[in-house]
Amino acid sequence: MKASKKTYVVIARRWGESETHSYFVGTFSKKAAALIAADNERAYRGGKYDCDVIESTTQSKIAPYRWDSNDNWWCEMPNKFVREASPTLDQD
């Protein structure tokens, strides 16, 4: 089995909050490139959006999807936040 590779996913979140509008910015093989993309996206959007940078491991198999006790569909993936969006952005 091949060794897993790290990838970095960037998600933009309006006002840095997970409950508001968000969108996919990109996937990167280098952490530095993901952090730069997150900073560039925030600047491009005038500070209205901040970005999560999430480290994930690529795998040959995707973990199986399951239903939890509240009937929510989820997949167990080995992810960790490199940098989370800040929900304290100025909304004026």
Identify the pLDDT of residue 64: 52
Output the pTM of the full model: 0.67
pLDDT (0 to 100) of residue 81: 72
pLDDT, position 56: 83
Domain ranges of the chain: 6-83
Q: How far is CA 4 from CA 29, 37, 56, 57, 78, in A?
A: 12, 23, 10, 6, 11
pLDDT of residue 34: 94
Tens digits of residue pLDDT in 36-86: 999 999 999 998 999 989 888 765 344 555 555 665 555 555 567 777 777
pLDDT in tens, 20-36: 788 999 999 999 999 99
